[in-house]
Structure 1
Amino acid sequence: MDDKKSNEDLLGEHNSTSIIECAARCQKECSFYGFNPNMKKCRTHKKIFTSGKSNESGWRYYLNNVIIIDCKDLQADGYFNSGVYEIYPSGTITSPVQAYCDMTKMGGGWTAIQKRITGSLSFDRTWTEYKNGFGSPEQDVWIGNDVIHQLTKENPSSLYVSISLQNGTTLYEMYDGFSVSDEAGKYQLFLAGPATRTLGDSMLDTGDSNRDLSGMYFSTPDRDNDRYSANCADLSYIRGGWWFNYCGFAHLNGLWSSESWRWPWYRTVMVGISVNGTTMMIRRH
């Protein structure tokens, strides 16, 4: 960074509790701002003095009104360690979301939308809870259907699904296309083009049109949007929110560590008692 140039353009350096507060300081006369989360410091600049990166440890710089939408943005901005970060899927600094970012698998830049690691968190939840999200991103979490919609509504994305088993094996699948509609559209799921990996496909082209999940609506125990005569999400061997058809061959939100959790991923993982962890992550193209 050119210190002389940055000092000439510096409008001010302030104590700041968050990047939201820092961005709020960047008014009409400000074109560029920096935030250091370790120092809790904010800098506002009149002009853009760098392409968007700084060599100063801990400082990150942003164009005014340019928001970090997802983990791919963070990776592009020089963050290469996996962990929990603040993102802004809605495109506004007033709606931050804590998300786990995987910066290593398949090139990194993945935003986790579902994680089950400890099994201590119940996924037998209501429509509103799935809408808003629940859990902790560093452990067990559903990021929220509204957030999933925001992340995918204008960004063609890939979906990465992994299941780790009690025997230490981890299996995964990737889908080239993934998006979810808004609440008015019942969070309808759209999938495209999996390349068969070690887990196999139990969502898109299962060989049974009554089990394929692309085009299906989201259901919860208190909101029945599937094609089955009963509510799949409310059945004793399913229990949990998901996209259901005539029920289905895949369901990662079942009753943890239970023989009643049937078909987490049909043909590959037949009963939930064998599951040690699950992850769903997305990355825009």
Structure 2
Amino acid sequence: MVFRLKFTKEEFRENSTCCISNSEGKMLFINHIILVFSFIMGLLGQAVSLECYSCSHVVNSTDCRSTVTCSNDQVCYKKREFTSQIYFDFGCVDKQSCGRYAKIPNRTIAMKMDGGQTQYCYECCSSDNCNKNLCKHSSAASCADDETVDCARWNSLFSICEDINKAKLICPKYCNLCHVVDGNWSPWSSWSECDVSCENGTESRVRSCTNPPPKYGGLDCPGEGIDSKTCQRQLCPVHGGWSDWGPWGTCPETCGIGMMSRTRSCTNPVPDRFGDHCFGNSLENALCHSGPCAIVNGGWSGWAQWDKCSVTCGVGMQSRARSCNNPKPKGYGKTCSGRDLDVKLCYPGLCATTDCYDVLKKQNAAKSGVYNVTLWRSKQETQVYCDMETDNGGWTVFQYRFNGLVDFYRNFTEYERGFGDLGTEFWLGLIIVEEMAAQGKTELRLDLTAAGGITVFENFQNFVLGSSPNYTLNIDPGTGTAGDGKSGLSYHNGNAFSTYDIDRDRNSRMNCAVYAHGAWWYNNCLYVNLNGMYVTPGSRRTQSMIYHQFNEFYSLKASKMMFRRV
């Protein structure tokens, strides 16, 4: 739709009042044109709607090809913002949403890879498909005015040069703003240490607006110069605190001077998580006086019965006591004279020798060899071989192998009862070892010799065998030169004893005793097999006498297993 308007002064005079001045005529002419123009624009607004590009969240403006027809009172817009990268939105928007009414989010500037900034942009236009060309301004480095804008006219109408942030985008050269420098952040510093040693605290990092700093009215850096995050440490220890003192107890004396007391407890709060216990005493005493007493001298009670002898065998001590309470001294009376404790020697009888540790205690100069002992629980008499040289002596040997003359591939009953010769190679027997190791805290020692003559040892504290029929091995991790890592004796800890006729290992597919040609506390299956086949020392055979942590699967030359009370 096209409208052509043409007025001449003569036509205007013919249609106007005759009696007006020249200036009034000019004003009426202008007002007439304005009214007609407004009428035509109203018709255009009702008849014609804008067509705008319409896309959401595109990375490249040129990728937007779809369009939409706007409603009346709408214009085209383009928005540029960023999250992790820069995105563009195109479409229609109410006229009121443009200009000063556009809401600019807090995050208005994105940092580009070259260190510069990309500003948030929200611009509108009112011609068909005009919005793709919005938010395009010359870079600060080029300092060129926007060719589509008459900077002089815009400045005269809207004083655009007074708004530095807008003027440097549109008319930087005209407004003499080529020297304006927007601020840019320096890189973030490293995170600080957590500001607490326990519980929840804060770590922080800083940056400065110095890369470069803003100059000549340029934008300050957006966002904050300090960043923080929560850091978590272990829970804080809880240090104990005293409760209030309880009331004083009654004076224990009915007359004279006594001692009364009161208590408090470390429960306010109770110490927890390795916190300090309360310092000070939980009991407080004070003198009390219940009035003068009559003078009473003290007198002894009768002697109590003799206590039990301090030992069950050998020479010990017995004691008995009496008290100065028959009567108690009162009112500055004299205390009892003499002793309140009587002591004498006792001798329940000779002590039985229960293991090599007892032999060493009774015979300091005892040599290694075979000794008679009486088991402490069953009272069974038996012979054992004692090692009196290794590590101060006192060791009861229960396995010794060094030449292969004794076959160790035996059934379960033989391993329970023992076999071999105490003078050469032997196995003492699970029944005896279980009882002797249960007499008190016991340590286990292994002495091993490789084919080349290298000797090593390994000690294991808290050695215990479970009861029959499993005789489960229980030891602490070892210390010594043989080693006790993943392939040491601790691999077999917690397992029952197995033989070729009694399978109690953890391998469901086969009998480890048969596979290893031995008898042992097999797991699944073995890394230690000291009761395995005796072959030429240094041979690589899983079925042989091996200790993998020390010598892998190469057969050993000698093996000695022994225990001692500690």
TM-score normalised by structure 1 residue count: 0.70
SS in 1 for 2:357: helix
Distance 1:180 1:263, change over 3 A: same
Aligned match of 1:35? none
What residue number does 1:189 align with? Answer: 473
Which residue type is aligned with residue 546 of structure 2?
P
**Paired residue secondary structure (1:183):** coil
Which of the numbers 479, 485, 498 marks the counterpart of 1:219?
Answer: 498
Query: Is the alpha carbon distance of 1:262 and 1:147 closer, same or farther for their aligned partners in structure 2, counting shifts above 3 Å?
Result: same
Q: CA deviation at 1:270?
A: 2.6
- Are positions 1:199 and 2:482 aligned together? yes
Is 1:105 aligned to 2:384, yes or no? no
Looking at structure 2, the residues matched to 155 and 228 of structure 1 have their Cα atoms a distance apart, in angstroms, of 33
Q: Give the distance between the partners of 2:495 and 2:359, measured in 1 at CA.
A: 31
**Residues in 1 aligned to 2:348 and 2:397: alpha-carbon distance in whole angstroms:** 26
How far apart are 1:213 and its partner, in Å?
1.4
Correspondent of 2:369 among 83, 91, 112: 83
1:270 and 1:189 mapped to 2: Cα distance? 22
Query: Which residue pairs with 1:233 in the alignment?
Result: 513
Aligned to 1:171: 456
Shift of 1:101: 0.5
Structure (1/2) with the larger strand percentage: 1
Q: Which has the larger radius of gyration?
A: 2
Q: Is 1:276 the equivalent of 2:276? A: no
**Structure 1 position 251 matched with structure 2 position 529:** yes
Counterpart secondary structure, 2:559: strand
2:445 corresponds in structure 1 to 160
Paired residue secondary structure (1:100): strand
**For residues 183 and 139 of structure 1, what CA distance do their matches in structure 2 show?**
27
Q: Could you report, residue by residue, the CA deviation over 1:164-188 in whole angstroms, capped at 9, with x for unpaired residues?
A: 122222111111121101213x101
What is the number of residues matched between the two proteins?
Answer: 218
Bigger relative contact order, structure 1 or 2 (CA pairs below 8 A, ≥6 apart): 1
State the alpha-carbon separation in 1 of the partners of residues 348 and 478 from structure 2: 36
Q: Which amino acid aligns with 1:84?
A: V
3-state SS of 1:268 partner: helix
Q: Which runs of 5+ in 2 are unaligned?
A: 1-312, 317-346
Q: Is the 8 A contact 2:532 2:545 kept in 1?
A: no
Q: C-alpha deviations, 1:140-175, integer Å up to 9, x for none?
A: 111000011101124221011011122222111111
Q: Secondary structure at the match of 1:267?
A: helix
Shift in alpha-carbon separation, 1:152–1:165, aligned structure 2, 3 A: same
Distance (Å, rounded) in 1 between the aligned partners of 2:492 and 2:358 = 29
Structure 1 unaligned segments of length 5 or more: list them: 1-47, 53-61
Partner of 2:240: none
| 8 Å Cα contact 1:67/1:92 also seen in 2 | no
Separation in 1, partners of 2:428, 2:504: 20
Rate the CA distance shift 1:102–1:140 in 2: closer, same or farther, 3 A. same
Supply the distance in 2 between the matched residues of 1:248 and 1:98 (Cα, whole angstroms). Answer: 31
Secondary structure at 1:147 match in 2: helix
- C-alpha contact 2:487 2:549 (8 A) present in aligned 1: no
Q: Do the aligned residues in 2 keep the contact of 1:153 with 1:181 (CA within 8 Å)?
A: no
Matched, 1:148 2:445: no
Q: How far is 1:212 from its partner?
A: 1.7
CA-based RMSD of the aligned residues comes to 2.5
Deviation of the 1:139 alpha carbon: 1.2
Instruction: Please give the alpha-carbon distance, in whole angstroms, between the structure 2 residues aligned to 1:208 and 1:161.
Output: 11
Q: CA deviation at 1:248?
A: 1.9
**C-alpha distance in 2 between matches for 1:124 and 1:90:** 30
- Aligned residue for 1:134? 419
Alpha-carbon displacement from aligned partner over 1:2-57 (angstroms, at most 9, x marks no partner): xxxxxxxxxxxxxxxxxxxxxxxxxxxxxxxxxxxxxxxxxxxxxx9x849xxxxx
Residues 211-245 of structure 1: CA deviation (Å, up to 9, x unaligned): 8211100000000001012110011xx11111011
Question: What CA distance in whole angstroms lies between the structure 1 residues aligned with 2:523 and 2:491?
Answer: 7
Identity across matched positions, percent: 30
Give the whole-Å Cα distance in 2 for the aligned partners of 1:244 and 1:131.
16
